[in-house]
Amino acid sequence: MITSRRLVLIMMLASTLFPASPLLGGTDSNGQIPQPQICPTCWTPAPSHPKLTHKPHKRPRSAVRPYRWRKHGASASHRSGRIPGLRTLPRSNVLSNLRSPVEVDGRFLRPIDGDTFSYNGIKVRVRGIDAPEIGTPGGLEAAQRFAAILREGAIKIVPVSHDVYGRTVADVFLNGQNLADVLIAEGYARRE
């Protein structure tokens, strides 16, 4: 540990060896305060330095804090649930695979709610009906009955169009009977 007495001795020795040290208030033979030695690897010039011909670089803001929150809430990517910086592959044209009628085993269909199911990652909505959503009264029962009907046998999907949500709207048949008519007759859906 350096005591104040040792510090004074070090300062006196330094002033003897380096009389022109700017740290000690010394001057060179011309009476000027000498410039400190510049190490080329760690020296960063001040913006007013004569050798500096351009302004110092600033790191781009995104490199400093790539996931920063905006001043007035989250950015659009945070609000939409996307992860910033994560790139996804372009969407494959899966919907084109469902242009013609398809017959599948109902066990391969994943029900989403009372009138929508997923087939190979494609959301398919039954045309002509509206079933209650899962969070509304009767929605859970409608979804459970829809799932039970889908598991009963071979399902034929006849695509008709696409809705505004990107789902394929299709006529769906179970053993030759329209699934929309079955759900309406049982009271789990109403006609659109």
84 belongs to a structural domain? no
Residue whose token pair is 């399902």:
155
Find the Cα–Cα–Cα–Cα dihedral 17, 20, 25, 27, rounded to 10°.
Answer: 150
> How many domains are contained in the chain?
1
Which pair of structure tokens corresponds to residue 47?
């913006």
Q: What is the pLDDT of residue 99?
A: 73
Q: What is the pLDDT of residues 5-46, one digit of tens each?
A: 787 778 777 766 665 555 555 556 666 665 655 555 555 556
18 belongs to a structural domain? no
Q: Which domain holds residue 138?
A: 97-191
Write down the pTM of the prediction.
0.49
17 belongs to a structural domain? no
Q: What is the pLDDT of residues 59-77, one digit of tens each?
A: 555 544 444 444 444 445 4
* Residue type at position 48: S
Q: How many other C-beta atoms can be found within 10 angstroms of the C-beta atom of residue 183?
A: 25
| Cα distances (angstroms) measured from residue 8 to each of 2, 3, 12, 21, 78 | 10, 9, 6, 16, 60
